[in-house]
Structure 1
Amino acid sequence: MKKSGLLNPELSALVAQAGHTQHIVLADAGLPIPPQVRCIDVSVSAGLPQLLPVLQAILGELVIEAVSVAQETRDLSPQWYSELQRTLPEVPVHELPHEALKEGLPQALAVIRTGETTPYANVILHCGVNF
């Protein structure tokens, strides 16, 4: 058994596989995921697990250089958006229309579906490099 870090074997393998400039999407429970995109479903029930704790666990092992979220998140889920910014104090947050976010899903290395039920709570992680 692993001593620390990500215990989920699919998440651990995904982080090990991720390269610079690739994207990993953390999704709420309702985001439509294209069938050709790898989906790691960690959802248990509505609200479990929430997206931000999953993000925090992933940040312990993955280098990211930026994140992207839907523009609608700031207006329709302002408290969640503020929590995201507190979770990523030194990471640039880019905004794009929700439809554009969905259109970019086929280019993702994988989508991690959570049980998050906050509207527009989806985050694209732009993988960085540690050197």
Structure 2
Amino acid sequence: MLKGVPSIISPDLLKALAEMGHGDEIVLVDANFPAASNAKRLIRLDGVAMPELLQAVLQLIPLDPYVATPAVLMQVVDGDLPPAIWETYRRVIEAEAGGVVVSHIARADFYERSRAAYAVVATGEQSPYGNIVLKKGVVS
């Protein structure tokens, strides 16, 4: 047990966050994302909701201030509506990392980026398009 670490953060996730360096990316994905086939390091947090996990992760790592958008969402496919959870993500990011711009990339590009990421964290989030890439900054 450690002091100051949110209880939602598993030992495997804590290790991955500590090992990541400046510019490394971690991808938090919803329950429908093909995580096992798109991750070189897979961390499972089944049953965990994304907003709470996003808040906990951002309490432990800074986002990279040297890139235009250190937080990236998967763009919706034509005909789909943007999910309501995105507004929740924006509020969490604003509260934990103020002023960060969130961008969107195409689904295929998101999959490619997740394959290159340091780790992918599979959650129990049920919201469609509930996936987000976070680029770690420098801990000062």
Range into which the TM-score falls when normalised by the shorter chain: 0.7 to 0.9
CA contact (8 A) 1:6 1:12 kept: no
1:44-77 Cα deviation digits (max 9, x unpaired): xxxx31111011111111111210101218x634
> What fraction of aligned residue pairs are identical, expressed as a percent?
31
Give the alignment's TM-score, normalised by structure 2: 0.82
Letter of the 1:123 partner, please give it. Answer: I
Structure 1 stretches of at least 4 aligned residues deviating more than 4 Å after TM superposition = none
**Equivalent in the alignment of 1:109:** 118
> 1:3 corresponds to which letter in structure 2?
K
Map of 1:79 onto structure 2: 84
Q: How many residues align?
A: 126
Question: For residue 119 of structure 1, what is the aligned residue in structure 2?
Answer: 128
Describe the shift of the 1:26–1:35 C-alpha distance in structure 2 as closer, same or farther (beyond 3 A): closer
Matches of 1:120 and 1:9, distance apart in 2: 26
CA RMSD of aligned residues (A): 1.8
The one-letter code sitting in structure 1 at the alignment partner of 2:74 is A
Match for residue 62 of structure 1?
61
Unaligned runs of at least 5 residues, structure 1: none
| TM-score for both structures, normalised by structure 1 | 0.87
Aligned twin of 2:67: none
